[in-house]
Structure 1
Amino acid sequence: MQIVITAVGPDNRGLADPIVHSVTELGANIAEIQMYDHDEQSVFSMLTRIELPEARREELELAMKDVAQRTGLAVRTWSPDIRGRKPRLAICVTYRPETPLALMRAIRDGHIRAEPAVMLSNRSACRRLAEQFDVPWRQIGDDRGEPDDAQLLAICDELQVDYIVLARYMRVLPPASCWQYAGGRIINLHHGLLPSFPGIRPYHEAHASRMLTYGATCHFIVPELDAGNQIIYQSTFTVPPGLPVDDVIRRGQEDNEPHCLVEGVRRVVDGEVQLHFNRVMARK
Protein backbone atom coordinates (compact mmCIF):
# COMPACT_ATOMS: atom_id res chain seq x y z
CA MET A 1 0.00 0.00 0.00
CA GLN A 2 1.00 3.61 -0.53
CA ILE A 3 1.78 5.63 2.60
CA VAL A 4 2.60 9.31 2.96
CA ILE A 5 4.79 10.41 5.87
CA THR A 6 5.06 14.09 6.77
CA ALA A 7 7.41 15.57 9.34
CA VAL A 8 7.50 19.21 10.47
CA GLY A 9 9.41 20.81 13.32
CA PRO A 10 12.32 22.93 14.51
CA ASP A 11 15.19 22.84 12.04
CA ASN A 12 18.26 20.86 13.05
CA ARG A 13 20.82 18.47 11.61
CA GLY A 14 20.09 14.83 10.90
CA LEU A 15 16.30 15.04 10.85
CA ALA A 16 15.76 13.19 7.58
CA ASP A 17 18.03 10.22 8.29
CA PRO A 18 15.92 8.53 11.01
CA ILE A 19 12.84 8.54 8.76
CA VAL A 20 14.69 7.18 5.74
CA HIS A 21 16.48 4.51 7.77
CA SER A 22 13.27 3.41 9.48
CA VAL A 23 11.31 2.90 6.29
CA THR A 24 14.13 1.13 4.47
CA GLU A 25 14.63 -1.23 7.40
CA LEU A 26 10.97 -2.20 7.03
CA GLY A 27 11.55 -3.02 3.37
CA ALA A 28 9.66 -0.04 1.98
CA ASN A 29 10.17 1.28 -1.52
CA ILE A 30 10.66 5.06 -1.44
CA ALA A 31 8.73 6.68 -4.30
CA GLU A 32 9.14 10.35 -3.36
CA ILE A 33 11.05 12.55 -0.95
CA GLN A 34 10.71 16.31 -0.57
CA MET A 35 12.45 18.43 2.02
CA TYR A 36 12.39 22.13 2.75
CA ASP A 37 13.97 24.44 5.31
CA HIS A 38 11.96 27.53 6.20
CA ASP A 39 15.09 29.48 7.11
CA GLU A 40 13.34 32.58 8.42
CA GLN A 41 11.18 30.50 10.78
CA SER A 42 13.85 27.82 11.40
CA VAL A 43 11.31 25.14 10.45
CA PHE A 44 12.14 21.82 8.77
CA SER A 45 9.55 20.09 6.57
CA MET A 46 9.71 16.68 4.89
CA LEU A 47 7.39 14.50 2.85
CA THR A 48 8.15 10.85 2.13
CA ARG A 49 5.91 8.67 -0.04
CA ILE A 50 6.54 4.95 0.21
CA GLU A 51 5.15 1.60 -0.88
CA LEU A 52 4.90 -0.87 1.99
CA PRO A 53 3.06 -4.16 2.56
CA GLU A 54 -0.12 -3.44 4.48
CA ALA A 55 0.82 -6.00 7.10
CA ARG A 56 3.75 -3.82 8.17
CA ARG A 57 1.83 -0.57 8.60
CA GLU A 58 1.56 -0.89 12.38
CA GLU A 59 5.34 -1.39 12.60
CA LEU A 60 5.80 1.76 10.54
CA GLU A 61 3.55 3.81 12.79
CA LEU A 62 5.44 2.66 15.87
CA ALA A 63 8.73 3.52 14.19
CA MET A 64 7.49 7.01 13.30
CA LYS A 65 6.34 7.62 16.89
CA ASP A 66 9.85 6.76 17.99
CA VAL A 67 11.31 9.16 15.40
CA ALA A 68 9.00 11.92 16.62
CA GLN A 69 10.09 11.41 20.23
CA ARG A 70 13.78 11.43 19.32
CA THR A 71 13.72 14.42 16.95
CA GLY A 72 10.91 16.64 18.24
CA LEU A 73 9.23 16.54 14.83
CA ALA A 74 5.47 16.34 14.33
CA VAL A 75 5.24 13.15 12.27
CA ARG A 76 2.07 11.93 10.55
CA THR A 77 1.45 8.78 8.53
CA TRP A 78 -1.48 8.49 6.14
CA SER A 79 -2.51 6.28 3.24
CA PRO A 80 -4.70 7.22 0.26
CA ASP A 81 -5.43 3.49 -0.08
CA ILE A 82 -8.46 3.68 2.22
CA ARG A 83 -10.17 0.33 2.83
CA GLY A 84 -13.26 -0.66 4.74
CA ARG A 85 -14.64 2.87 5.12
CA LYS A 86 -15.28 6.07 3.22
CA PRO A 87 -12.71 8.87 3.12
CA ARG A 88 -13.33 11.45 5.83
CA LEU A 89 -13.55 15.13 4.86
CA ALA A 90 -13.04 18.32 6.83
CA ILE A 91 -14.95 21.04 4.97
CA CYS A 92 -13.58 24.53 5.63
CA VAL A 93 -15.85 27.51 4.97
CA THR A 94 -16.10 31.22 5.68
CA TYR A 95 -19.06 33.18 4.26
CA ARG A 96 -20.33 31.73 0.99
CA PRO A 97 -22.67 28.72 1.28
CA GLU A 98 -22.98 27.66 -2.38
CA THR A 99 -19.93 25.42 -2.66
CA PRO A 100 -20.25 23.62 0.69
CA LEU A 101 -23.98 23.17 0.03
CA ALA A 102 -23.24 21.54 -3.33
CA LEU A 103 -20.62 19.34 -1.67
CA MET A 104 -23.00 18.20 1.06
CA ARG A 105 -25.73 17.41 -1.46
CA ALA A 106 -23.30 15.41 -3.59
CA ILE A 107 -22.26 13.39 -0.53
CA ARG A 108 -25.88 12.87 0.52
CA ASP A 109 -26.85 11.70 -2.97
CA GLY A 110 -23.89 9.30 -3.26
CA HIS A 111 -22.13 11.19 -6.04
CA ILE A 112 -19.18 11.77 -3.74
CA ARG A 113 -18.44 8.62 -1.76
CA ALA A 114 -17.08 10.26 1.36
CA GLU A 115 -18.07 11.11 4.92
CA PRO A 116 -18.23 14.73 6.14
CA ALA A 117 -16.37 14.45 9.44
CA VAL A 118 -16.59 18.13 10.37
CA MET A 119 -17.29 21.60 9.05
CA LEU A 120 -14.66 24.12 10.16
CA SER A 121 -14.92 27.88 9.88
CA ASN A 122 -13.30 31.11 10.97
CA ARG A 123 -16.78 32.72 10.91
CA SER A 124 -20.27 31.64 11.97
CA ALA A 125 -22.05 32.37 8.66
CA CYS A 126 -22.39 28.75 7.52
CA ARG A 127 -23.26 27.14 10.84
CA ARG A 128 -26.89 26.49 9.86
CA LEU A 129 -25.66 24.61 6.80
CA ALA A 130 -23.73 22.21 9.01
CA GLU A 131 -26.78 21.77 11.22
CA GLN A 132 -28.99 21.15 8.17
CA PHE A 133 -26.88 18.14 7.20
CA ASP A 134 -26.13 17.07 10.79
CA VAL A 135 -22.39 17.63 10.38
CA PRO A 136 -20.30 18.54 13.45
CA TRP A 137 -19.49 22.26 13.49
CA ARG A 138 -16.26 23.68 14.91
CA GLN A 139 -15.49 27.39 14.82
CA ILE A 140 -11.76 28.12 14.82
CA GLY A 141 -11.77 31.90 14.36
CA ASP A 142 -11.65 34.73 16.88
CA ASP A 143 -13.91 37.79 16.88
CA ARG A 144 -12.01 39.23 13.89
CA GLY A 145 -12.15 35.99 11.93
CA GLU A 146 -8.49 35.19 12.47
CA PRO A 147 -8.21 31.39 12.45
CA ASP A 148 -6.31 29.21 14.89
CA ASP A 149 -4.38 27.08 12.40
CA ALA A 150 -3.00 24.77 15.07
CA GLN A 151 -6.54 24.08 16.28
CA LEU A 152 -7.65 23.32 12.71
CA LEU A 153 -5.00 20.62 12.38
CA ALA A 154 -5.65 19.28 15.87
CA ILE A 155 -9.33 18.81 15.06
CA CYS A 156 -8.47 17.06 11.79
CA ASP A 157 -6.09 14.75 13.63
CA GLU A 158 -8.66 14.05 16.34
CA LEU A 159 -11.36 13.15 13.80
CA GLN A 160 -8.97 11.14 11.58
CA VAL A 161 -9.63 13.35 8.58
CA ASP A 162 -8.28 12.15 5.24
CA TYR A 163 -8.81 15.29 3.16
CA ILE A 164 -9.19 18.95 4.04
CA VAL A 165 -11.49 20.69 1.55
CA LEU A 166 -11.28 24.47 1.34
CA ALA A 167 -14.77 25.35 0.07
CA ARG A 168 -14.26 29.10 -0.41
CA TYR A 169 -12.40 29.24 2.89
CA MET A 170 -11.14 32.81 2.80
CA ARG A 171 -7.91 32.37 4.70
CA VAL A 172 -4.50 31.20 3.52
CA LEU A 173 -3.11 28.16 5.29
CA PRO A 174 0.47 28.78 6.47
CA PRO A 175 3.25 26.71 4.86
CA ALA A 176 3.78 24.62 8.01
CA SER A 177 0.12 23.54 7.95
CA CYS A 178 0.36 22.69 4.25
CA TRP A 179 3.42 20.52 4.90
CA GLN A 180 1.78 18.65 7.79
CA TYR A 181 -1.10 17.59 5.52
CA ALA A 182 1.01 17.46 2.35
CA GLY A 183 0.92 14.84 -0.35
CA GLY A 184 -2.45 15.68 -1.88
CA ARG A 185 -4.56 15.92 1.28
CA ILE A 186 -5.66 19.58 0.98
CA ILE A 187 -8.11 20.42 -1.82
CA ASN A 188 -8.92 24.04 -2.65
CA LEU A 189 -11.46 25.81 -4.82
CA HIS A 190 -10.04 28.92 -6.48
CA HIS A 191 -12.68 31.17 -8.02
CA GLY A 192 -10.68 31.84 -11.19
CA LEU A 193 -8.76 30.05 -13.91
CA LEU A 194 -5.23 29.17 -12.88
CA PRO A 195 -2.54 30.01 -13.68
CA SER A 196 -3.90 33.07 -15.54
CA PHE A 197 -5.91 34.62 -12.70
CA PRO A 198 -4.54 33.89 -9.21
CA GLY A 199 -5.12 36.10 -6.18
CA ILE A 200 -8.27 37.24 -4.40
CA ARG A 201 -10.07 39.11 -7.23
CA PRO A 202 -9.91 36.84 -10.29
CA TYR A 203 -13.37 37.79 -11.59
CA HIS A 204 -12.52 41.48 -11.55
CA GLU A 205 -9.13 40.94 -13.17
CA ALA A 206 -10.62 38.78 -15.93
CA HIS A 207 -13.38 41.34 -16.48
CA ALA A 208 -10.82 44.15 -16.70
CA SER A 209 -9.05 42.11 -19.39
CA ARG A 210 -12.36 41.93 -21.30
CA MET A 211 -12.51 38.15 -20.99
CA LEU A 212 -15.67 36.42 -22.21
CA THR A 213 -14.77 33.08 -20.62
CA TYR A 214 -14.54 32.76 -16.84
CA GLY A 215 -13.92 29.75 -14.68
CA ALA A 216 -12.94 28.09 -11.43
CA THR A 217 -10.12 25.76 -10.50
CA CYS A 218 -10.11 22.85 -8.07
CA HIS A 219 -6.51 22.10 -7.13
CA PHE A 220 -4.30 20.52 -4.54
CA ILE A 221 -2.75 22.94 -2.08
CA VAL A 222 1.02 23.19 -1.83
CA PRO A 223 2.88 25.78 0.24
CA GLU A 224 3.10 28.17 -2.74
CA LEU A 225 -0.27 29.98 -3.03
CA ASP A 226 -2.28 29.13 -6.19
CA ALA A 227 0.84 27.74 -7.84
CA GLY A 228 -1.30 26.55 -10.74
CA ASN A 229 0.26 23.21 -11.67
CA GLN A 230 -1.64 21.08 -9.19
CA ILE A 231 -4.94 21.32 -11.06
CA ILE A 232 -7.48 18.55 -10.46
CA TYR A 233 -10.36 20.02 -12.46
CA GLN A 234 -11.39 23.28 -14.13
CA SER A 235 -14.81 24.39 -15.33
CA THR A 236 -15.69 27.44 -17.39
CA PHE A 237 -18.65 29.49 -18.57
CA THR A 238 -18.99 32.12 -21.25
CA VAL A 239 -20.78 35.45 -21.08
CA PRO A 240 -21.96 37.98 -23.68
CA PRO A 241 -19.85 41.09 -24.25
CA GLY A 242 -20.58 43.89 -21.82
CA LEU A 243 -22.10 41.77 -19.05
CA PRO A 244 -21.54 43.64 -15.75
CA VAL A 245 -18.96 42.11 -13.45
CA ASP A 246 -21.52 41.63 -10.67
CA ASP A 247 -23.59 39.41 -12.98
CA VAL A 248 -20.48 37.47 -13.95
CA ILE A 249 -19.63 36.89 -10.30
CA ARG A 250 -23.19 35.78 -9.53
CA ARG A 251 -23.11 33.15 -12.28
CA GLY A 252 -19.74 31.93 -11.15
CA GLN A 253 -20.62 31.68 -7.47
CA GLU A 254 -24.06 30.13 -7.87
CA ASP A 255 -23.42 27.64 -10.68
CA ASN A 256 -19.85 27.20 -11.85
CA GLU A 257 -17.90 27.13 -8.59
CA PRO A 258 -20.11 24.49 -6.90
CA HIS A 259 -19.87 22.22 -9.94
CA CYS A 260 -16.10 22.64 -10.10
CA LEU A 261 -15.51 21.74 -6.45
CA VAL A 262 -17.85 18.74 -6.49
CA GLU A 263 -16.18 17.20 -9.52
CA GLY A 264 -12.69 17.90 -8.20
CA VAL A 265 -13.40 16.30 -4.82
CA ARG A 266 -15.04 13.33 -6.52
CA ARG A 267 -11.93 12.70 -8.62
CA VAL A 268 -9.76 12.68 -5.52
CA VAL A 269 -11.89 10.50 -3.23
CA ASP A 270 -12.52 8.03 -6.07
CA GLY A 271 -8.77 7.64 -6.44
CA GLU A 272 -8.61 8.91 -10.02
CA VAL A 273 -5.78 11.38 -9.34
CA GLN A 274 -2.97 11.93 -6.87
CA LEU A 275 -0.25 14.49 -6.23
CA HIS A 276 3.27 13.28 -6.96
CA PHE A 277 6.26 15.63 -6.78
CA ASN A 278 3.73 18.50 -6.83
CA ARG A 279 2.24 17.31 -10.11
CA VAL A 280 -1.23 15.84 -10.55
CA MET A 281 -1.10 12.33 -11.98
CA ALA A 282 -3.77 9.82 -12.92
CA ARG A 283 -4.00 6.80 -10.63
CA LYS A 284 -6.48 4.83 -12.74
Structure 2
Amino acid sequence: MTEAAQAGFPGNFSGGSSGNFSGDFAGGAPSSFILTLSCDDRPGIVHAVSGALVAADCNITESQQYGSPDSGTFFMRVAITTRSERRAVEAHLAPVAEAFGMTWGLHTEGTPARTLIMASKSAHCLNDLLFQQRAGMLPIEVPVIVSNHTDLAELAAFYGIEFHHVPVTGDGKAEAEERLLELVAEHRIELVVLARYMQVLSDTLCSQLVGRAINIHHSFLPSFKGARPYHQAHARGVKLIGATAHYVTPALDEGPIIEQEVIRVDHARTATQLVAMGADVESRTLAQAVKWHAEHRVLLDGTRTVVFN
Protein backbone atom coordinates (compact mmCIF):
# COMPACT_ATOMS: atom_id res chain seq x y z
CA MET A 1 0.00 0.00 0.00
CA THR A 2 1.09 3.62 -0.38
CA GLU A 3 2.04 5.86 2.53
CA ALA A 4 -1.18 7.84 2.25
CA ALA A 5 -3.25 4.69 2.59
CA GLN A 6 -1.20 3.52 5.56
CA ALA A 7 -1.73 6.85 7.32
CA GLY A 8 -5.51 6.48 6.99
CA PHE A 9 -5.77 9.98 5.54
CA PRO A 10 -9.00 11.26 3.94
CA GLY A 11 -9.03 11.47 0.18
CA ASN A 12 -8.53 15.24 0.16
CA PHE A 13 -4.94 14.82 1.35
CA SER A 14 -2.46 14.15 -1.43
CA GLY A 15 0.61 11.96 -1.05
CA GLY A 16 1.99 8.51 -1.68
CA SER A 17 2.64 7.20 -5.12
CA SER A 18 -0.43 8.85 -6.64
CA GLY A 19 0.35 12.50 -5.89
CA ASN A 20 2.29 15.21 -7.69
CA PHE A 21 2.48 13.62 -11.16
CA SER A 22 5.40 15.26 -12.92
CA GLY A 23 4.30 14.85 -16.52
CA ASP A 24 7.89 14.40 -17.74
CA PHE A 25 8.21 12.05 -20.71
CA ALA A 26 10.98 9.80 -21.93
CA GLY A 27 13.60 11.73 -23.84
CA GLY A 28 12.83 15.01 -22.09
CA ALA A 29 14.68 16.74 -19.29
CA PRO A 30 15.56 14.40 -16.40
CA SER A 31 13.10 14.25 -13.52
CA SER A 32 14.10 13.78 -9.90
CA PHE A 33 12.11 11.61 -7.50
CA ILE A 34 12.33 10.38 -3.94
CA LEU A 35 11.31 6.78 -3.30
CA THR A 36 10.40 5.87 0.28
CA LEU A 37 9.40 2.41 1.43
CA SER A 38 9.01 0.15 4.43
CA CYS A 39 8.26 -3.56 4.79
CA ASP A 40 9.14 -6.61 6.83
CA ASP A 41 12.91 -7.00 6.83
CA ARG A 42 14.21 -9.93 4.78
CA PRO A 43 16.99 -10.63 2.28
CA GLY A 44 16.83 -9.28 -1.24
CA ILE A 45 14.99 -5.98 -0.76
CA VAL A 46 17.78 -3.62 -1.84
CA HIS A 47 18.67 -5.86 -4.78
CA ALA A 48 15.05 -6.03 -5.97
CA VAL A 49 14.45 -2.28 -5.61
CA SER A 50 17.72 -1.40 -7.34
CA GLY A 51 16.96 -3.82 -10.15
CA ALA A 52 13.52 -2.32 -10.72
CA LEU A 53 14.97 1.19 -10.83
CA VAL A 54 17.67 0.16 -13.29
CA ALA A 55 15.03 -1.50 -15.46
CA ALA A 56 13.10 1.77 -15.41
CA ASP A 57 16.22 3.61 -16.64
CA CYS A 58 16.74 5.41 -13.32
CA ASN A 59 20.02 6.68 -11.90
CA ILE A 60 20.31 6.33 -8.11
CA THR A 61 21.93 9.48 -6.70
CA GLU A 62 21.45 8.75 -2.99
CA SER A 63 20.33 5.70 -0.99
CA GLN A 64 19.78 5.21 2.72
CA GLN A 65 18.35 2.18 4.49
CA TYR A 66 17.76 0.91 8.00
CA GLY A 67 16.57 -2.36 9.46
CA SER A 68 14.90 -1.93 12.84
CA PRO A 69 15.92 -4.70 15.26
CA ASP A 70 12.96 -3.80 17.47
CA SER A 71 10.11 -3.94 14.97
CA GLY A 72 11.72 -6.14 12.30
CA THR A 73 10.89 -3.50 9.70
CA PHE A 74 13.12 -2.37 6.84
CA PHE A 75 13.11 1.28 5.76
CA MET A 76 14.61 2.84 2.65
CA ARG A 77 14.86 6.27 1.02
CA VAL A 78 16.25 6.52 -2.51
CA ALA A 79 16.86 9.65 -4.59
CA ILE A 80 16.75 9.05 -8.35
CA THR A 81 16.93 10.89 -11.64
CA THR A 82 15.37 9.56 -14.83
CA ARG A 83 14.06 10.48 -18.26
CA SER A 84 11.36 7.86 -17.95
CA GLU A 85 7.75 8.75 -17.25
CA ARG A 86 6.71 8.62 -13.64
CA ARG A 87 4.10 5.99 -14.52
CA ALA A 88 6.80 3.82 -16.06
CA VAL A 89 8.90 3.99 -12.89
CA GLU A 90 5.88 3.09 -10.78
CA ALA A 91 5.04 0.21 -13.09
CA HIS A 92 8.49 -1.30 -12.55
CA LEU A 93 8.32 -0.79 -8.78
CA ALA A 94 4.78 -2.08 -8.25
CA PRO A 95 5.55 -5.82 -8.60
CA VAL A 96 8.47 -5.49 -6.18
CA ALA A 97 6.31 -3.61 -3.70
CA GLU A 98 3.63 -6.28 -3.92
CA ALA A 99 6.11 -9.14 -3.54
CA PHE A 100 7.58 -7.67 -0.36
CA GLY A 101 4.35 -6.20 1.04
CA MET A 102 5.76 -2.67 0.97
CA THR A 103 4.25 0.60 2.05
CA TRP A 104 5.78 2.96 -0.47
CA GLY A 105 5.61 6.34 -2.15
CA LEU A 106 7.24 7.97 -5.17
CA HIS A 107 7.53 11.72 -4.65
CA THR A 108 8.60 14.47 -7.03
CA GLU A 109 11.75 15.91 -5.48
CA GLY A 110 11.63 19.60 -4.63
CA THR A 111 7.84 19.95 -4.75
CA PRO A 112 6.84 22.13 -1.78
CA ALA A 113 4.47 20.48 0.68
CA ARG A 114 1.20 22.38 0.87
CA THR A 115 1.05 23.28 4.54
CA LEU A 116 -1.61 24.67 6.84
CA ILE A 117 -0.18 26.29 9.97
CA MET A 118 -2.16 26.58 13.19
CA ALA A 119 -1.13 28.97 15.97
CA SER A 120 -2.80 30.73 18.89
CA LYS A 121 -1.13 33.89 20.23
CA SER A 122 2.64 33.23 20.29
CA ALA A 123 4.25 34.31 17.03
CA HIS A 124 7.80 32.95 17.26
CA CYS A 125 7.31 29.53 15.61
CA LEU A 126 4.90 30.84 12.98
CA ASN A 127 7.15 33.75 12.05
CA ASP A 128 10.21 31.52 11.76
CA LEU A 129 8.41 29.06 9.47
CA LEU A 130 7.10 31.84 7.23
CA PHE A 131 10.48 33.61 7.08
CA GLN A 132 12.32 30.41 6.17
CA GLN A 133 9.71 29.53 3.56
CA ARG A 134 9.96 32.95 1.94
CA ALA A 135 13.77 32.80 2.03
CA GLY A 136 13.72 29.48 0.17
CA MET A 137 15.12 27.58 3.15
CA LEU A 138 12.01 25.47 3.83
CA PRO A 139 10.34 23.36 1.09
CA ILE A 140 6.76 24.19 2.00
CA GLU A 141 3.95 26.28 0.52
CA VAL A 142 1.64 27.95 3.05
CA PRO A 143 -1.71 28.99 1.54
CA VAL A 144 -3.57 29.40 4.84
CA ILE A 145 -3.09 30.05 8.55
CA VAL A 146 -5.71 29.07 11.14
CA SER A 147 -5.94 30.46 14.67
CA ASN A 148 -8.37 30.37 17.56
CA HIS A 149 -7.47 34.03 18.24
CA THR A 150 -6.96 37.11 16.07
CA ASP A 151 -3.57 38.16 17.44
CA LEU A 152 -1.60 36.78 14.48
CA ALA A 153 -3.77 38.18 11.71
CA GLU A 154 -1.35 41.06 11.05
CA LEU A 155 1.59 38.68 10.75
CA ALA A 156 -0.32 36.59 8.21
CA ALA A 157 -1.19 39.77 6.28
CA PHE A 158 2.49 40.82 6.26
CA TYR A 159 3.37 37.57 4.49
CA GLY A 160 0.30 37.80 2.26
CA ILE A 161 -1.25 34.58 3.54
CA GLU A 162 -4.95 33.89 3.99
CA PHE A 163 -5.90 33.98 7.69
CA HIS A 164 -8.89 32.25 9.25
CA HIS A 165 -10.06 32.95 12.77
CA VAL A 166 -11.72 29.72 13.94
CA PRO A 167 -12.67 30.19 17.59
CA VAL A 168 -12.86 27.11 19.79
CA THR A 169 -15.49 27.03 22.50
CA GLY A 170 -16.64 24.22 24.75
CA ASP A 171 -19.76 23.61 22.70
CA GLY A 172 -18.26 24.54 19.35
CA LYS A 173 -15.12 22.42 19.22
CA ALA A 174 -16.60 19.90 16.79
CA GLU A 175 -17.68 22.70 14.45
CA ALA A 176 -14.21 24.27 14.64
CA GLU A 177 -12.54 21.00 13.69
CA GLU A 178 -15.03 20.48 10.88
CA ARG A 179 -14.11 23.93 9.56
CA LEU A 180 -10.43 23.01 9.76
CA LEU A 181 -11.00 19.91 7.63
CA GLU A 182 -12.94 22.02 5.13
CA LEU A 183 -9.93 24.30 4.77
CA VAL A 184 -7.66 21.26 4.42
CA ALA A 185 -9.80 20.02 1.54
CA GLU A 186 -10.24 23.43 -0.05
CA HIS A 187 -6.51 24.17 -0.11
CA ARG A 188 -5.36 20.60 -0.89
CA ILE A 189 -3.28 20.52 2.29
CA GLU A 190 -0.63 17.82 2.72
CA LEU A 191 0.79 18.85 6.10
CA VAL A 192 -0.69 20.51 9.19
CA VAL A 193 1.73 22.22 11.57
CA LEU A 194 0.75 23.18 15.11
CA ALA A 195 3.06 26.13 15.72
CA ARG A 196 2.18 26.76 19.38
CA TYR A 197 -1.52 26.10 18.83
CA MET A 198 -2.79 25.94 22.38
CA GLN A 199 -5.80 23.70 21.91
CA VAL A 200 -6.10 19.95 22.36
CA LEU A 201 -7.31 18.27 19.17
CA SER A 202 -9.97 15.59 19.44
CA ASP A 203 -9.01 11.94 19.12
CA THR A 204 -11.05 11.75 15.92
CA LEU A 205 -9.17 14.62 14.29
CA CYS A 206 -5.81 13.29 15.48
CA SER A 207 -6.59 9.94 13.90
CA GLN A 208 -7.41 11.64 10.61
CA LEU A 209 -4.11 13.52 10.68
CA VAL A 210 -1.84 10.60 11.63
CA GLY A 211 1.56 11.02 9.99
CA ARG A 212 0.65 14.39 8.47
CA ALA A 213 0.47 16.74 11.47
CA ILE A 214 3.45 18.02 13.48
CA ASN A 215 3.35 19.63 16.93
CA ILE A 216 5.98 21.47 18.98
CA HIS A 217 6.27 21.79 22.74
CA HIS A 218 8.89 22.35 25.39
CA SER A 219 10.90 19.31 26.44
CA PHE A 220 10.03 19.44 30.14
CA LEU A 221 7.05 17.11 29.76
CA PRO A 222 5.83 15.22 31.71
CA SER A 223 7.20 17.68 34.29
CA PHE A 224 6.02 21.30 34.50
CA LYS A 225 2.67 20.81 32.81
CA GLY A 226 0.16 23.61 32.33
CA ALA A 227 0.71 27.35 32.29
CA ARG A 228 4.10 29.12 32.49
CA PRO A 229 6.29 26.00 32.19
CA TYR A 230 9.52 27.99 31.92
CA HIS A 231 8.71 29.83 35.13
CA GLN A 232 8.04 26.48 36.80
CA ALA A 233 11.36 25.17 35.49
CA HIS A 234 13.18 28.28 36.70
CA ALA A 235 11.73 27.84 40.16
CA ARG A 236 13.14 24.30 40.23
CA GLY A 237 16.57 25.37 38.97
CA VAL A 238 16.69 23.32 35.78
CA LYS A 239 20.02 23.16 33.95
CA LEU A 240 18.70 22.11 30.52
CA ILE A 241 15.82 23.48 28.49
CA GLY A 242 14.71 22.36 25.06
CA ALA A 243 11.96 21.48 22.63
CA THR A 244 10.37 18.39 21.05
CA ALA A 245 8.74 18.21 17.61
CA HIS A 246 6.57 15.15 17.07
CA TYR A 247 3.69 13.80 15.03
CA VAL A 248 0.22 14.39 16.42
CA THR A 249 -1.59 11.36 17.83
CA PRO A 250 -4.61 10.88 20.11
CA ALA A 251 -2.11 10.38 22.98
CA LEU A 252 -1.50 14.00 24.01
CA ASP A 253 2.10 15.13 23.38
CA GLU A 254 3.23 11.51 23.05
CA GLY A 255 3.41 11.08 19.27
CA PRO A 256 6.47 9.75 17.42
CA ILE A 257 9.34 12.20 17.93
CA ILE A 258 10.94 13.74 14.84
CA GLU A 259 13.46 16.16 16.36
CA GLN A 260 14.62 17.41 19.75
CA GLU A 261 17.11 20.03 20.88
CA VAL A 262 18.38 21.05 24.31
CA ILE A 263 20.52 23.95 25.51
CA ARG A 264 22.28 24.41 28.83
CA VAL A 265 21.29 27.16 31.27
CA ASP A 266 22.56 28.09 34.71
CA HIS A 267 21.44 29.72 37.92
CA ALA A 268 22.06 33.24 36.58
CA ARG A 269 19.32 33.02 33.97
CA THR A 270 16.02 34.67 34.84
CA ALA A 271 12.63 33.17 34.06
CA THR A 272 12.17 35.79 31.35
CA GLN A 273 15.45 34.78 29.75
CA LEU A 274 14.43 31.12 29.83
CA VAL A 275 11.22 32.00 28.00
CA ALA A 276 13.17 33.84 25.28
CA MET A 277 15.74 31.06 24.93
CA GLY A 278 12.95 28.48 24.87
CA ALA A 279 11.14 30.33 22.08
CA ASP A 280 14.32 30.27 20.00
CA VAL A 281 14.93 26.55 20.44
CA GLU A 282 11.25 25.75 19.80
CA SER A 283 11.38 27.63 16.49
CA ARG A 284 14.54 25.86 15.34
CA THR A 285 13.31 22.43 16.34
CA LEU A 286 9.94 22.80 14.64
CA ALA A 287 11.45 24.18 11.42
CA GLN A 288 13.90 21.27 11.24
CA ALA A 289 11.14 18.70 11.74
CA VAL A 290 8.99 20.33 9.06
CA LYS A 291 11.94 20.41 6.63
CA TRP A 292 12.73 16.73 7.12
CA HIS A 293 9.06 15.78 6.70
CA ALA A 294 8.69 17.89 3.54
CA GLU A 295 11.81 16.26 2.09
CA HIS A 296 10.34 12.79 2.75
CA ARG A 297 13.09 11.92 5.22
CA VAL A 298 10.83 10.74 8.06
CA LEU A 299 9.26 7.26 8.13
CA LEU A 300 7.05 5.94 10.91
CA ASP A 301 8.13 2.88 12.87
CA GLY A 302 5.23 2.38 15.26
CA THR A 303 5.68 4.86 18.09
CA ARG A 304 9.12 5.87 16.79
CA THR A 305 10.45 7.51 13.66
CA VAL A 306 13.28 6.72 11.29
CA VAL A 307 14.83 9.99 10.09
CA PHE A 308 17.18 9.80 7.09
CA ASN A 309 18.95 13.13 7.60
Q: TM-score range by the shorter chain?
A: 0.5 to 0.7
SS at match of 1:4: helix
Q: Does 1:178 align with 2:206?
A: yes
Unaligned runs of 5+ in 1: 9-28, 33-52, 56-78
Q: 1:273 aligns with which of 298, 302, 306?
A: 298
Which has the greater radius of gyration? 2
Distance 1:249 1:274 in 2: 32
Q: Please state if 1:220 is matched with 2:264.
A: no
Superposition pairs of residues 13-24 of structure 1, within 5 angstroms: none
Give the alignment's Cα RMSD to 1 decimal: 3.2
Q: Counterparts of 1:130-279 in structure 2 under 5 Å? A: 130-141=156-167, 148-182=176-210, 184-194=211-221, 200-227=227-254, 230-253=256-279, 255-279=280-304
SS at match of 2:185: helix
Which is worse superposed, 209-218 or 239-248?
239-248
Give SS of 1:157's match: helix
What is residue 18 of structure 2 aligned with on the other side? none
- Any unmatched runs of 5+ in structure 2? 10-36, 41-88, 92-103
Superimposed CA distance per residue, residues 152-210 of structure 1 (whole angstroms, 9 cap, x where no aligned partner): 1221122111110000001011110011111x101001123456666554323433432
Q: Deviating runs (4+, > 6 A) in structure 1?
A: 143-146
Give yes or no for contact 2:261–2:285 (8 Å, CA) kept in 1: yes
Residues 166 and 187 of structure 1 are in contact (CA less than 8 Å); yes or no, is this contact kept in structure 2? yes
Q: 1:173 to 1:54 in 2, by over 3 A?
A: farther
* Conserved? CA contact 1:193–1:217, under 8 Å: no
Per the TM alignment, residue 252 of structure 1 is displaced from its structure 2 partner at its CA by 1.4
Please identify, of 84-93 and 160-169, the stretch whose mean Cα deviation from structure 2 is larger. Answer: 84-93
- Residues paired across the two proteins, number: 222
Q: Give, in whole Å, the separation in 2 of the partners of 1:80 and 1:132.
A: 36
Deviation, structure 1 residue 242 = 4.0
Contact 1:230 1:279 in 2 (8 A): yes
| Structural mapping, 1:61-80, within 5 Å | none
State the Cα distance separating 1:141 from its structure 2 match: 0.9
For the residues of structure 1 that align with 2:224 and 2:39, how far apart are their CA atoms? 33
The one-character-per-residue Cα deviations of 1:102-159 (angstroms, maximum 9, x if unpaired) are 0001111111111012101111110111111111111111589965111112211221
